[in-house]
Chains A and B, each alone.
Chain A
Amino acid sequence: MSDQWTDRLSEYLDGDLPEAEHAALEAHLAECPTCASVLNELRRVVGRARALEPRSPVHELWPGIAARIGATAALPGVEPLAGRRRPLRRLSFSLPQLAAAGIALTAISSAAAWMLHPDMPAVAVSSPSPARPSAISVGSNPTAAQSYAAAVDDLERVLAAGRGQLDTATVRVIEQNLAVIDRAIVQAQRAVLADSANLYLNSHLAETMRRKLELLRQAAALVSTMS
C-alpha cells in the first residue's frame, strides 16, 4: 500500500514539506486514492486530538499527569494551562504509530477526569467484564499504551468511588457497555496482531479505545453530577 509519498503525509499535514514537494504531493494525492484515504485518516486523528485539546487538568494535578504522559510539568508560578492560549498541537506520525498517537492524545485529555475527584482515594474497581483487555499492545509506543492504561485506571477509580451515587440500573448499563467495548477492543487487538501494518485495524483499535475512555469519562461526569 505504500509508495514514496505515504511516509511524507504527516509532514504534508504539518506544513513541513518544501514547496516543490508539497506541490508534487498534492498532484499525487489527486491521482492516488490510497494516499488520499491515508491522509483523511491522519486528519481524523489530528482533528480528534485538537478537539480534545482544551480539556486541561487542574494545576496541582498536572505535574503527576505530565510525568505519566511524558510532557513537561508546569513549574510553580507558571501561568495555569487552562488560562493560557496555546498554539495548535503539531503532530507527526509514522503510520505504525497512528493508533498509539491517537491513544496518547486521548489519554492526555482524559486526565481532565481527575478534576472531578481530586481527593479521590485509591480503591479497587470490579472488572466490568471478563473480556476486559489486560494489556494494550498497539503501535510501537509503550508510553502511549501506559498512558492509556493509566487514564483508564484513573477513570475507573472515579467510577468505583462514586458508583454509590448512581442508580444501580445506570451502573449496570455502563458496565454492560464497557464490556461491549472491551470485547471489541480485544477483537481489534487480535486483528492488529495478525496484521500490524493494517491502517484500518490500527485506526479502529484506537477509535474503540477512545470510545472506552469517552464512556468512562461520561460515567465519571455523571458521578460528579450526582454528588
Chain B
Amino acid sequence: MALVQTDTTVAVERGQRLQVSAHTGEIVVKTWARNAVRVQSATSDRGRVAVVTSATVVRVRTEGRHGPASIELQITAPAWMAVDLSGVYTDISVAGAGGPVAVETVQGDVDVEGGVGLVSLRSVQGSVTLRRAKGRIEVHSVNEDVEVLGGGGEIEAETVNGDITLNGVAASSLTATTVNGEVEYDGPIRDGGRYSLSSHNGDLTLTVAPGTNASVSVSTFNGEFESEFPVTLKETRKGKRFSFTIGAGSAQVTLESFQGTISLIRPGSSRAEHDDH
C-alpha cells in the first residue's frame, strides 16, 4: 500500500481555534510564532485529510475511502491558538501550547506540554501526562496513570485503575481520586486552598513544606497513617479518622484512603525520591 504525504499551510487570525479529529493514528501538535497552521500528514492511499477554515475554526478531519484509515498528522500552529483534538485509536501530543487545550482519545496516550486556561485531557485506555499548564486543569484516564508536572491552578485528576502523580505543581485547589492506585502531591499548599486526595486501594503521599498552613482531615478504614514530622491530633473520631492543624490551618486538606497508607513527607524526602516513578 502506497504512503501518501500532504503538506498544507493556511493563514489564521487570533480568535480562531484548531479542531482536529483523527480516528486512528497519531496527532502531534507543535507551535511556532507564525499566524498560520501547517498540516503535514502521512497516510495510506485509502486515507484523506481535509483542512477547512472558517472565521472561528480551522478544522482538520481525516477519513478513509472505506472506513477509518490510520493517519499520522503533524500540525504546527500559533502558540496562542486554542486546540481541540480527538481520536479513538489515536496517540495525541501537544508541545508549547499557550491557550486552552482539549484532548480526548480512547485507546491512546496523551502527552501535553503547556496550555493556559481550560486544559482538559482524557483517555480511556492510555496514560495522560501534562507539563507546565496553568489554569483550570482536568486530567482523566480510566485504565492508566495520570501525571501532572509543573504548572498549576485548579486541578482535577481522576483515574480508576492507575496512579496519580502531581509533581512540582502549584495547585490552588486539587481533587485527585483513583480507585486502584496511588496518589502523590508534591507542591505548595496555598493558604485558603482546598486539597482532596483519595484512593480506595492505594497509598496517598502529600508533601508538606515547612511554613504550610493547613487543617488536615485524615480518614481510612483499613489503612495506616504516617508522618515525617510531628502532628498533634485535634480530633479523633471512631474508626481511623482524625484531624489536625499545621500552622495557621487556613488551607483545607482531606486525605482519604480506604485501605492504603497515608503519608505526610517533607520536600526532598528520601522516601519521595525512592518512590519516584
Q: Does B219 contact A (CB under 8 A)?
A: yes
Is B217 positioned at the interface, with any CB of A under 8 Å from its CB? yes
Q: Are A169 and B160 in contact (CB under 8 A)?
A: no
Chain A, 131-156, contact with B by CB distance < 8 Å: what is the 0/1 string?
Answer: 00000000000000000000000000
Chain B nearest CB, measured from A206 CB (Å): 12
Task: Give the CA-CA distance A1 to B259 in the complex, in Å.
Answer: 22
Set B124, B217, B245, B258: member contacting A187, Cβ < 8 A = B258
Encoded as 1 (CB less than 8 Å from any B CB) or 0, chain A from 35 to 53 comes to 0110010001000000000
Question: Hey, which chain B residues are within 8 Å of A173, CB to CB?
Answer: 124-125, 142-143
Binds A, one of B5-13, B235-243, B269-277: B235-243
In the complex with contacts A198-B238, A222-B106, A37-B180 CB distance below 8 A: no
A184→B201 contact, CB < 8 A: yes
B180 contacts A188, CB within 8 Å? no
Q: Evaluate contact between B217 and A33: CB separation under 8 angstroms.
A: yes
Verify A36–B258 contact, CB threshold 8 A: no
Instruction: Please tell me the size bucket of the interface on B.
Output: 35 or more
| B234 pairs with A207, CB closer than 8 A | no
Given contacts A34-B243, A167-B107, A200-B256, contact A195 B161 (CB under 8 A): no
B142 CB contacts on chain A under 8 angstroms? 173-174, 177, 215, 218
Closest to A167 in B: B107
A-B contact count (CB 8 A): 95
In the bound complex, what is the Cα–Cα distance between A170 and B142 (angstroms)? 11
A37 touching B217, Cβ below 8 Å: yes
Contact of A198 among B196, B217, B239 (CB under 8 A): B239
Q: Answer yes or no: B16 CB below 8 A from chain A CBs.
A: no
Q: Does A17 interact with chain B (Cβ within 8 Å)?
A: no
| B237 partner, pick from A1, A169, A174, beta carbons under 8 A | A1
Q: Bound complex: CA of A167 vs CA of B87, how far in Å?
A: 14
Bitwise interface map of A from 70 to 105 toward B, beta carbon under 8 Å scored 1, else 0: 000000000000000000000000000000000000
Alpha-carbon distance between A176 and B201 when the two chains are bound, in angstroms: 15
- Residue A23 lies at the interface, judged by CB distance under 8 Å to chain B: no
Bound together, the chains give a CA A139 to CA B250 distance in angstroms of 32
Specify which chain A residues have a CB less than 8 angstroms from the CB of B221 in the assembled complex.
188, 191, 200-201, 204
B200 touches A33 (CB 8 A): no
Q: Does A211 contact B (CB under 8 A)?
A: yes
Instruction: Quote the shortest CB–CB distance from B241 to chain A (angstroms).
Output: 6
Residues of B within 8 A of A161 (CB): none
A180, A199, A200: the one contacting B160 at CB < 8 Å is A180
Q: Do A169 and B243 have beta carbons less than 8 Å apart?
A: no
Q: Report the bound CA distance from A197 to B196 in whole Å.
A: 22
Q: Does A109 make an interface contact (CB < 8 A)? A: no
Instruction: Please give 15 more A-B residue pairs, beta carbons under 8 A apart, in addition to A37-B217, A170-B106, A198-B241.
Output: A34-B235, A40-B252, A170-B124, A173-B142, A174-B124, A177-B142, A177-B143, A191-B222, A191-B258, A200-B221, A201-B239, A204-B258, A208-B200, A211-B177, A222-B124
On B, residues with C-beta under 8 Å from A are 88-89, 106-107, 124-125, 142-143, 160-161, 177, 179-180, 196, 198, 200-201, 215, 217, 219, 221-222, 234-235, 237-239, 241, 243, 245, 252, 254, 256, 258-259
User: Can you identify 23 A-B contacts, CB atoms within 8 angstroms?
Assistant: A1-B237, A33-B217, A33-B235, A34-B237, A37-B243, A44-B196, A167-B89, A167-B106, A167-B107, A169-B125, A173-B124, A174-B124, A181-B160, A184-B200, A198-B239, A200-B221, A201-B239, A204-B198, A204-B219, A204-B221, A208-B200, A215-B160, A218-B124
